[in-house]
């Protein structure tokens, strides 16, 4: 008889009863000796492989239980569709039917997730043995991938199509289903803030009228943990030190097409800071300089953020003073009766721990050195937890990785730690399409191709093309941020720009290249030394244009050596609510070429959310001057022009030849402009990505070297404009729509009441 995996124990005994035992051992019934093992039915699997799975030795006693164990081992190898065992006297016959091999793997019905991505999820592979269990696991993994996109109703069925030669095609039939949206997010236990205000804190959003485009309203269980942290951080930043999320209850609708999520929260009392003090428990270390870095004010609402800012400032003082192994320990004393928290910053001596090594894993493309240079700590340095956390933030800020974690563990001794860096690569190349609109320039199209981590070296490579009615431009840029293995940024760029009657009866062309080296000169300041060679041409000046422009027509070479200083408080800032920027550039033309001049530009700006967290205030100031050398006169290509004040067209302001028929803008040797704006929520659901703004600009462009006796208005006439803005975060990028009104202008100025552009960051 034959023994199959599905046979019960009685069938096994009955089958063996027909054979004559070779030997009977007391206490071990049905003992046999098989002098030969014959394999039948195998095509690809070698007989020795099957015998090794059976693990039955020729010429030894074998019990019925051992024969059954051999059957189970062969079946559990996963190589065979069926296995049977037939004892025939002194011969054990093992008959197998092999699983077919997979000819190819295909996916059907999938639109939201491409075949290439699904192929990385499945473990079944072509030219490998087909396994039903593995195919079911692959189908489950594919369904999980759809669930992560909010398609909980997705169903995946593995099917096999027989082919010749004991082969099969494995087909995963996908029914994607609809997106399972979050129809409603509610809260219980909230007294201080409305449901609407709390929903704006969460990353997960309710479905709204833009549900077709919004993907943050799909249900993702993994986001619930992040949302709970965001909710906790928000409440504690508002003074609720004892806030807790007691539970989250997601409920799915009967039709499985929507979720209802309810957060059960406990706010607790709202605390203010009481007595604030800073003490030193380290002999010889004075607390006075550390006390001056405290930013916590007595009477203000409790906020972990401001405590952390104060600790960071004190740790910076410790590092600058060369004090290692210093801990800044915040000690909080609750006063429930008057709902205050007394806070003491205690300087304590921490354990003497050093960094043994830094291990990096997960970077399949990015070189180790690109990650390692984000650390201010190297092997052998004193271990500073704050510096390690800052290094982790710098690694995430690179934008090269979908996820980056930095953890520590004990090294070869308690005095040593090992820093483990685990990263997950993500695409760093982008292909961007954009559009802009101006009343005079019309619709503009932009194409950008960039790679932020070229060849895994952290290098930047970018190519940009843009065109509007009457203008064309192309740029190429390459940058190495760590030139010569130092914090030295090398940049090279080439450009071509041509304008065609942009609010003027003349055309311009500029072609050239520039290069520069940038390096730090302070924690927040950097200096760039740069060189530019270009040919700037003014052509097609009409006869009714000003003689000033006709005199300037032609092309000149400019060889420019200059420097730029930039200060950004966010590089090493300790105030997360306020950012300050400062820039100063000077270009010296005359190192060869036709033009000899000095051009200076000063910029300053501040952005702050200190007034209200959801209202962003910005203020900017710009000023510039062109000074010609060797009795040269500036050309319109050297002077300042363009749209420097919102509410006016490009080349819409500046000095004019009042005697000329077309009164083209001539540009000016000097300019200044001040801008102020506020960006704020409109009360719409945050998932729509719409915010509003108010702005006001004021400034002027003036001054010419030579007027040739013409009636030219080149005075410092102040222009001003006010307006409202609509900011919209869209899949193609952040858009900004400005609706402007010029409130102070000259008669010849060209105003602009509306423009649509890509929004730029501060």
What residue segments make up the domains of the chain, in order of their start?
A: 3-98, 101-175, 181-266, 272-349, 354-425, 429-758
Confidence of residue 256 (pLDDT cuts 50, 70, 90): low
Q: What is the pTM of this model?
A: 0.70
pLDDT value at position 333?
A: 94
Containing 356, the helix (H) or strand (E) segment is strand 354-361
pLDDT value at position 9?
A: 36
Mean pLDDT computed over 670-693: 88
Q: Where are the alpha helices (DSSP H) in 353-483?
A: 368-372, 385-397
Q: What class has domain 354-425?
A: alpha beta
Which residue, among 531, 532, 533, 551, has the nearest Cα to 541 in the 3D structure?
551
Q: What CA–CA distance (Å, rounded) separates 673 from 416?
A: 56
pLDDT value at position 732?
A: 63
Confidence of residue 643 (pLDDT cuts 50, 70, 90): low
pLDDT value at position 216?
A: 53
Residue 337: φ, ψ to 5°: -65, -45
Structure tokens of 416? 């040593």
CATH architecture, range 429-758: Beta Barrel (2.40)
**Cα–chain-centroid distance for residue 33?**
68
Q: What class has domain 181-266?
A: alpha beta
Q: What is the pLDDT of residues 141-190, one digit of tens each?
A: 999 888 777 777 788 999 999 988 888 999 999 988 777 778 889 999 99
Q: What are the start-end ranges of the E strands in 578-705?
A: 578-593, 597-612, 615-628, 656-657, 670-681, 690-702
Which residue, among 731, 758, 681, has the nearest Cα to 213 in the 3D structure?
731
Containing 62, the helix (H) or strand (E) segment is strand 61-62
258-266 and 181-188 as β-strands: parallel, antiparallel, unpaired? Answer: parallel
- The residue that leads in pLDDT, 229 or 220, is 229
Q: What is the pLDDT of residues 693-738, one digit of tens each?
A: 999 999 999 999 999 889 999 999 999 999 999 998 876 668 899 9
Q: How many CB atoms lie within 10 A of CB 677?
A: 20
pLDDT value at position 441?
A: 57
pLDDT value at position 220?
A: 72
Mean pLDDT computed over 593-600: 96
**Cβ neighbours for 117, distance < 8 A, ≥ 6 positions apart:** 145
The answer to whether 3-98 and 354-425 have equal CATH topology is yes
Lowest-pLDDT range of 66-70, 133-137, 570-574, 676-680: 570-574
CATH number 3.40.50.300 given to 101-175: no
354-361 and 416-425 as β-strands: parallel, antiparallel, unpaired? Answer: parallel
pLDDT value at position 13?
A: 36
Q: What are the start-end ranges of the E strands in 133-180?
A: 155-163, 167-175
Q: What class has domain 272-349?
A: alpha beta
Q: What is the pLDDT of residues 491-528, one digit of tens each?
A: 999 999 998 765 577 889 999 999 999 999 998 899 99
244 forms bridges with which residues in the sheet? 266
Lowest-pLDDT range of 49-58, 410-419, 716-725: 49-58
Lowest-pLDDT range of 47-56, 349-358, 502-511: 502-511
- For the domain covering 3-98, report its CATH number: 3.10.20.310
* Mean residue pLDDT across the chain: 87
pLDDT value at position 641?
A: 85
pLDDT value at position 448?
A: 85
Q: What is the pLDDT of residues 370-383, one digit of tens each?
A: 999 999 888 999 99
Q: Give the torsion through C-alpha atoms of 243, 244, 245, 246, to 10 deg.
A: -140
pLDDT value at position 440?
A: 54
């Amino acid at each position: 008889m034959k023994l199959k995996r599905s046979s019960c124990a009685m069938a096994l005994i009955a089958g063996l009863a027909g054979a004559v035992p070779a030997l009977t051992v007391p206490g071990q019934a049905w003992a046999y000796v098989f002098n030969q093992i014959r394999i039948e039915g195998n095509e690809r699997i070698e007989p020795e492989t099957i015998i090794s799975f059976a693990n039955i030795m020729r010429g030894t006693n074998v019990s019925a239980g051992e024969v059954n164990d051999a059957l189970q081992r062969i079946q559990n190898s996963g190589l065979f569709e069926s296995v049977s065992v037939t004892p025939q006297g002194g011969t054990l016959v093992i008959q197998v039917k092999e699983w077919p091999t997979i000819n190819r793997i295909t996916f059907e019905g999938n639109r939201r997730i491409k075949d290439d991505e699904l192929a990385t999820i499945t473990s079944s592979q072509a030219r490998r043995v087909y396994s039903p269990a593995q195919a079911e696991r692959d189908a489950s993994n594919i369904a999980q991938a759809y669930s992560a996109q909010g398609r909980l109703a997705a169903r995946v069925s593995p099917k096999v199509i027989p082919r010749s030669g004991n082969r099969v095609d494995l087909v995963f039939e996908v029914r994607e289903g609809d997106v399972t949206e979050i129809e409603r997010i509610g809260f219980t236990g909230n007294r201080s803030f409305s449901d609407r205000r709390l929903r704006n804190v969460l990353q997960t959003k309710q479905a709204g009228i833009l549900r077709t485009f919004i993907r943050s309203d799909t249900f993702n269980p993994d986001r619930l943990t992040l949302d709970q942290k965001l909710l906790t951080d928000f409440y504690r930043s508002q003074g609720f030190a004892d806030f807790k999320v007691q539970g989250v209850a997601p409920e799915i609708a009967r039709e499985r097409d929507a979720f209802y999520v309810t957060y059960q929260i406990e706010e607790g009392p709202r605390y203010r800071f009481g007595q604030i003090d800073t003490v030193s428990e380290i002999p010889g270390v004075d607390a006075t300089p550390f006390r001056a870095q405290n930013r916590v004010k007595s009477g203000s609402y409790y906020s972990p953020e401001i405590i952390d800012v104060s600790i960071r400032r004190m740790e910076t003082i410790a590092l600058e003073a060369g004090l290692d192994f210093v801990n800044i320990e915040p000690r909080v004393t609750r006063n429930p009766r008057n709902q205050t928290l007394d806070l003491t910053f205690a300087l304590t001596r921490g354990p003497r721990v050093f960094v043994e090594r830094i291990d990096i894993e997960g970077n399949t493309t990015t070189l180790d050195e690109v990650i390692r240079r984000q650390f201010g700590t190297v092997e052998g340095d004193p271990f500073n937890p704050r510096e390690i956390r800052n290094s982790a933030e710098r690694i995430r800020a690179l934008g090269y990785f979908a996820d980056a974690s930095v953890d520590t563990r004990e090294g070869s001794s308690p005095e040593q730690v090992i820093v483990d860096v685990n990263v997950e690569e993500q695409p760093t190349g982008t292909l961007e399409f954009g559009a802009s609109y101006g009343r005079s320039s019309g619709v503009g199209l932009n194409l950008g191709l960039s790679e932020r981590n070229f060849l895994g070296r952290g290098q930047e490579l970018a190519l940009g093309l843009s065109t509007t009615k009457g203008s064309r431009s192309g740029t190429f840029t390459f940058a190495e941020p760590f030139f010569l293995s130092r914090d030295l940024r090398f940049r090279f760029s080439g450009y071509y720009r041509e304008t065609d009657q942009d609010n003027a009866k003349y055309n311009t062309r500029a072609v050239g290249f520039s290069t520069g080296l940038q390096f730090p000169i302070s924690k927040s300041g950097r200096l760039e030394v740069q060189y530019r060679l270009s040919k700037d041409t003014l052509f097609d000046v009409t006869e009714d244009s000003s003689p000033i422009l006709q005199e300037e027509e032609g092309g000149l070479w400019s060889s420019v050596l200059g420097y730029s200083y930039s200060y950004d408080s966010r590089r090493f800032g300790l105030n997360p609510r306020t950012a300050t920027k400062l820039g100063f550039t000077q270009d010296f033309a005359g190192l060869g070429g036709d033009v000899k001049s000095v051009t200076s530009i000063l910029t300053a700006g501040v952005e702050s959310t200190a007034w209200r967290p959801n209202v962003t205030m910005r203020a900017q100031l710009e000023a510039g001057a062109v000074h010609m050398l060797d009795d040269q006169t500036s050309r319109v290509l050297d002077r300042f022009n363009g749209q420097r004040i919102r509410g006016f067209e490009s080349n819409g302001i500046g000095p004019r030849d009042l005697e000329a028929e077309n009164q083209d803008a001539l540009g000016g040797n000097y300019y200044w402009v001040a801008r102020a704006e506020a960006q704020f929520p409109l009360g719409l659901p945050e998932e729509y990505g719409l915010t509003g703004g108010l702005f006001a600009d004021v400034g002027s462009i003036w001054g010419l070297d030579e007027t040739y006796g013409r009636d030219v208005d080149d005075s410092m006439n102040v222009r001003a404009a006010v307006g409202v803005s609509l900011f919209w975060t869209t899949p193609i990028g952040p858009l900004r729509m400005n609706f402007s009104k010029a409130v102070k202008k000259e008669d010849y100025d060209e105003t602009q009441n509306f423009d649509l552009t890509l929004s730029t960051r501060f």
